Structure 1
Amino acid sequence: MLALFDYVIAPFVEFAFMQRALAGALMLSVSACPVGAFLMLRRMSLTGDAMAHAILPGAAAGFLLYGLQIVPMTIGGLIAGIVVALGAGAVARLTIQKEDASMAAFYLISLSLGVLMVSLRGSSVDLMHVLFGTVLALNNDALTLIGLVAALTLGTLGIFWRALVAECLDPLFLRSVSRLGSPVHFIFLGLVVVNLVAGFQALGTLLSVGLMILPAAAARFWSQRVEIMCLLAIALGMLSSVCGLLLSYHASLPSGPAIILSAGVAYFVSVIASPRGILLARRPRAAHRTA
């Protein structure tokens, strides 16, 4: 019991920076993981990755003007994310190009522009902070922002839950029976952007999408029901956050990558050992062939 306390509980009891990191990561799990489940059900996982990179120029603009200040970088990231989402959608609707191709083009341009903007004024340390985040350096302002985004996300999901589920399963049916089809789509994209901006404070632009997608992808192997999938994604996100922070503390590893790698372990375990994973999903077929 003493060893368990020293390795698992003591770091969060003794150090305030670990407590703030844990609070931020847990709130991000509650907020971003359900959004990731809907992204995956919509087959838009790579869109989430593209949007994570799209916020970089706005965050870089805030950094150039005000330094590493949370409010300007957050506002810049929100504006950049909205501009890229609307721009890619407009190109897809007004030209022959598909939305995935236009999103990829916007994301590559945004990533390159953001890196150049940060490099103009900042050092390599500043660039690493913007790209990979500093979850162990979260302050009260960052925690307040993450908490507000979590409350906004949960409230919006609660209000539009049935419409979001219907659009995932049959968007044409939703548009035929309700006027919520298009508005719900853009509301959902807004949730993706604000959660990526909140995650950017802790995990950076390159890794913020990891906590959104990996727990949701793992949960998909354990359940087909959307409600259960979202709850499992939150639980796996929280577990990955705790394991990643402890791994970072005891092994002196970067905290953001440690959290995402922990989520990756949960994903690979689900791929192999879940009821719909590689091992158990192949058993009935093998038994049928033997018979």
Structure 2
Amino acid sequence: MTMVYDALILPFIEFAFMQRALAGAIMLSLSACPVGVFLTLRRMSLTGDAMAHAILPGAAAGFLFYGLEIVPMTIGGLIVGILVALGAGAVARLTVQKEDASMAAFYLISLSLGVLMVSLRGSSVDLMHVLFGTVLALNNDALILIALVSLLTLGMLGIFWRALVAECMDPLFLRSVSRLGSPVHFIFLGLVVTNLVAGFQALGTLLAVGLMILPAAAARFWTQQVAVMCFLAIAIGLVSSVGGLLLSYHVSLPSGPSIMLSAGVFYLVSVVASPRGLLLSRLPRAVHRAA
């Protein structure tokens, strides 16, 4: 019993940096995982990944002028993220190019530009910090930002829940019966950007989307009900965060990738062993053929 306590609980009691990392990961799971569910239902997972990279130039601009200060990097990331989302949407609507191609183009330009901007002033350590985050080094300002984003996200999801679900299932029907169709789409994109900006403080621009997508993708194998899917994604995100932090602490591994790998284990188990996974979904067919 003592060994279990020392391994699972003591690190979060003894060290303040582990407590802050756990608090940040919990709040990110509460807000980012439900947003990830709607991303996967809309088949926009890769769009979320592109948006995560697109905020890099804004964060890099804040870093160039103010260093690793949370407020300038956050404001820069928000501004650039919104501009990229609007720019990619405008290209898709006004030209022959599809939205996925325009988003990919903006993503590649943004990622390259952001890396160059960080490299102009910072070292390789600063670049790694921006790209991969430092969840074990979260300060009070970062936790306040993550808390505000979590509260905003949960509040907006509660207000626009029905419209968000309806747009996932049949966006044309929603636009025909309600004026909320287009506004809800942009509100949702705003939630994606704000959660990515909050997430890059802990996980970096390359991994921020992971906590949004992996738990949601895993949860989708277990249920078809959106509300249950959101709660399950949050649970997977919470367990993955705790497991990743403990793995990082005990084995001296980078914290962000450890959290993502923990979530990846849940995803792979869901792919194989869930009711809608590879094994159980094929079992009735095999039994039927044998009969």
TM-score between the two structures when normalised by the length of structure 1: 1.00
1:270 counterpart letter in structure 2: S
1:103 counterpart letter in structure 2: M
> How far, CA to CA, are the matches of 1:27 and 1:121 in structure 2?
32
- What pairs with 1:230-241 in structure 2 (closer than 5 Å)? 230-241=230-241
1:143-193: CA deviations, max 9, x gaps?
A: 000000000000000000000000000000000000000000000000000
> How far, CA to CA, are the matches of 2:220 and 2:204 in structure 1?
25
- What pairs with 1:30-109 in structure 2 (closer than 5 Å)? 30-109=30-109
> How far, CA to CA, are the matches of 1:264 and 1:80 in structure 2?
29
> How far, CA to CA, are the matches of 1:276 and 1:185 in structure 2?
29
- Alpha-carbon distance, 1:115 to partner: 0.1
Matched, 1:120 2:120: yes
> How far, CA to CA, are the matches of 1:222 and 1:65 in structure 2?
46
1:188 counterpart letter in structure 2: F
1:287 counterpart letter in structure 2: V
2:36 counterpart letter in structure 1: G
- Alpha-carbon distance, 1:216 to partner: 0.2
> How far, CA to CA, are the matches of 2:248 and 2:86 in structure 1?
38
Q: Specify the alignment match of 1:130 in structure 2.
A: 130
> How far, CA to CA, are the matches of 2:139 and 2:152 in structure 1?
20
- Aligned with 1:281: secondary structure? coil
Q: Specify the alignment match of 1:284 in structure 2.
A: 284
- Aligned with 2:90: secondary structure? helix
- Aligned with 2:96: secondary structure? coil
- What pairs with 1:1-291 in structure 2 (closer than 5 Å)? 1-291=1-291
- Alpha-carbon distance, 1:135 to partner: 0.1
> How far, CA to CA, are the matches of 1:233 and 1:34 in structure 2?
7
1:144 counterpart letter in structure 2: I
> How far, CA to CA, are the matches of 2:288 and 2:115 in structure 1?
55
- Aligned with 1:279: secondary structure? coil
- Alpha-carbon distance, 1:142 to partner: 0.2
- Alpha-carbon distance, 1:207 to partner: 0.1
1:71-117: CA deviations, max 9, x gaps?
A: 00000000010000000000000000000000000000000000000
> How far, CA to CA, are the matches of 1:226 and 1:33 in structure 2?
12
Runs of 4+ aligned residues of structure 1 deviating over 2 Å after TM superposition are none
- Alpha-carbon distance, 1:127 to partner: 0.1
2:201 counterpart letter in structure 1: Q
**RMSD value over aligned CA atoms?**
0.3
> How far, CA to CA, are the matches of 1:285 and 1:48 in structure 2?
36
1:252 counterpart letter in structure 2: S
> How far, CA to CA, are the matches of 1:43 and 1:276 in structure 2?
18
> How far, CA to CA, are the matches of 2:205 and 2:288 in structure 1?
48
- Alpha-carbon distance, 1:16 to partner: 0.2
- Alpha-carbon distance, 1:239 to partner: 0.2
Could you tell me which runs of 5 or more consecutive residues in structure 2 were left unpaired when the two chains were aligned.
Answer: none
- Alpha-carbon distance, 1:22 to partner: 0.3
- Aligned with 2:209: secondary structure? helix
TM-score between the two structures when normalised by the length of structure 2: 1.00
> How far, CA to CA, are the matches of 1:269 and 1:3 in structure 2?
27
1:249 counterpart letter in structure 2: Y
Aligned residue-pair number: 291
- Aligned with 1:235: secondary structure? helix
- Aligned with 2:9: secondary structure? helix
- Alpha-carbon distance, 1:265 to partner: 0.3
- Alpha-carbon distance, 1:34 to partner: 0.1
1:57 counterpart letter in structure 2: P
1:281 counterpart letter in structure 2: S
> How far, CA to CA, are the matches of 1:123 and 1:253 in structure 2?
21
1:165 counterpart letter in structure 2: V
